[in-house]
Amino acid sequence: MTESPPMLRLEKVEVVYKKVITAIQGVSLDVQQGQIVVFLGTNGAGKTTTLRAISGFIGTDDAWVTEGRILFEGQDIANWPPQKVANRGIALVPEREKIFETLTVMDNLEASVGAGASRATRKRMIDTVFDHFPRLATAKTRLAGYLSGGERQMLAIGSALLCEPRLLLVDEMSMGLAPRLVEELLDHIVTLKKTLGLTILLVEQSAHLALGIADYGYVIENGRIVLDGTRERLGGHKDVQEFYLGQGGGDARKSYREVKQYRRSRRWYG
């Protein structure tokens, strides 16, 4: 751990849905400024809930952070509404429902620029997005609902950038995309980190590509964090190799759930 206070710190965060269903419990993690942090876990492990807890719930989610703190730059933002979190400097690229399908590409971007920006400023900001993703510029007038999977992802990332975040949360970017496309998008993420000085928290199911660009990683299972470490440590860890990198040998990729006893060192607070 570095000495400087982290940009984002989750302290024993618990999220409860519909007042009874506990989705995550005692989740603690740190994201240092300027890092790319990967958050690994299988379906239903609590990755998306964690990201959503950071970016804020709306009424229809019927979800609350019931315990713990979410500190962003020292301020507790737990249970803030999404629009407030977005204006505070955290933007989320959701896994599903990430673009407005009935709006054109241009309108998607326009709608995401923060209030109060002048016409010239808006144009400049949107042009910056087009510089990063030239394919969006050629599809400006198309309805976002007709975009391909890769273009959707680019539009979603581009829209999130227009909120001028300092911390970007990206949920399951690789979902349903060809591996080559995922690689291309991950390259973009690295570029964004370098050119804009962004800090990025990346959620992934498959560690293959994500670990390659990460500075640090966490593994979440059943709503609890069980493992964390640098890329080298995680990549070299036997369980990660077996369950998330598919290098278990023998049968096809196994799930941690099939293993009766955890061999790993459990690591959660509280």
Partner 1 sequence: MQVLANLVVLTAIYALISCGYVLIYRVSRVLNLAHGELMMLGAYLLFTLASLFKGGPELAFAGAVGLSLLVGFVLYVVLMRKMTGELVIAAVLVTIALGILLRGLMVLIWTARDLHPISVLGWKNPPVPLGGGTSISSVALATILVAVVLYLALMLFFRYTRWGLQMRAVGERPLLAAQRGIKLHAVYALAWALSTFSGGLAGMLLALDSGLGSTMVIVGLKAFPAALVGGLDSLLGAVVGSFIVAAAEILAIHFIDPLISDVVPFVVLIAMLLVRPWGLFGTKEEIERV
- Residue of 61, 67, 73, 76 interacting with partner 1 (CB under 8 A): 61
The greatest distance separating any two alpha carbons of the chain, rounded to the nearest whole angstrom, comes to 60
Given candidates 25, 48, 159, 206, which one binds partner 1 under the rule CB under 8 A?
159
**Pair of tokens at residue 199:** 């800090």
Taking the C-alpha atoms of residue 209 and residue 227, their distance in angstroms, rounded to an integer, is 18
Exposed / middle / buried, residue 103 (Cβ in 10 Å: 0-12, 13-18, 19+): middle
CB of 67 to partner 1, least distance (A): 21
83 touches partner 1 by CB under 8 A: yes
* Contact status: 115 vs partner 1 (CB under 8 A): yes
Give the separation between CA 182 and CA 184, rounded to whole angstroms: 5
The residue (of 20 and 252) whose beta carbon lies closer to partner 1 is 20
Q: Which of residues 40-59 bind partner 1 (CB under 8 A)?
A: 55-56, 58-59
Site for partner 1 contains 25 (CB under 8 A): no
Give 67 or 110: the residue with its C-beta nearer to partner 1: 110
Q: With H, G, I as helix, E, B as strand and everything else as coil, classify residue 75.
A: strand
Q: Are 224 and 12 spatial neighbours (Cβ–Cβ below 8 Å)?
A: no
As to burial, measured by CB atoms within 10 angstroms (0-12 exposed, 13-18 middle, 19+ buried), residue 75 is: exposed
Q: Which stretch binds partner 1 (CB under 8 A): 39-47, 78-86, 184-192, 260-268?
A: 78-86
Q: Which residues bind partner 1 (CB under 8 A)?
A: 55-56, 58-62, 81-83, 86-87, 91-92, 94, 97-103, 107, 110-112, 114-115, 159-160, 162-163
